[in-house]
Structure 1
Amino acid sequence: MEKYKEAIIDLTKLLNLEPNSKFALRCLGEFYHLTKEAIIDLAKLLGIEPSEEIDESLNKKL
């Protein structure tokens, strides 16, 4: 779990530099999913890059 927290911190720093980074948003969504906090980042990613897969994932969580 500690490695996820470190990765989340690093990816958040990347998003501060590149707010629309698809890589950072996708990874944060996956890591937050593992820590049960994915919805915000996946929703933002969906706004940048529409995807049925992400949309279905969000609908399952809501």
Structure 2
Amino acid sequence: MCQHQPPCPSADSADREAAHLVAHHPEQGWSLLCNGVLLFEDTGELLPDGQVVAPRRPPAAGRVTTAA
């Protein structure tokens, strides 16, 4: 899929998120990378083979919980 030189990381490599953007839709919360990975704003991913990578975003900082 990638036509860049040097080629972008493949969808199954650890650094797959370093691939070039093909489409970016921040209003919808997703981007398509040239290796076929759909990258979501919550850091979740959908790989070209249909595998889902769960979001890795840490819990919101500064969130305060109160006891009832």
Q: With the length of structure 1 as denominator, give the TM-score of the two structures.
A: 0.27
Higher strand share: 2
Greater helix share, structure number = 1
Q: Which entry has the higher C-alpha Rg, 1 or 2?
A: 2
Higher relative contact order (CA 8 A, sep 6+): 1
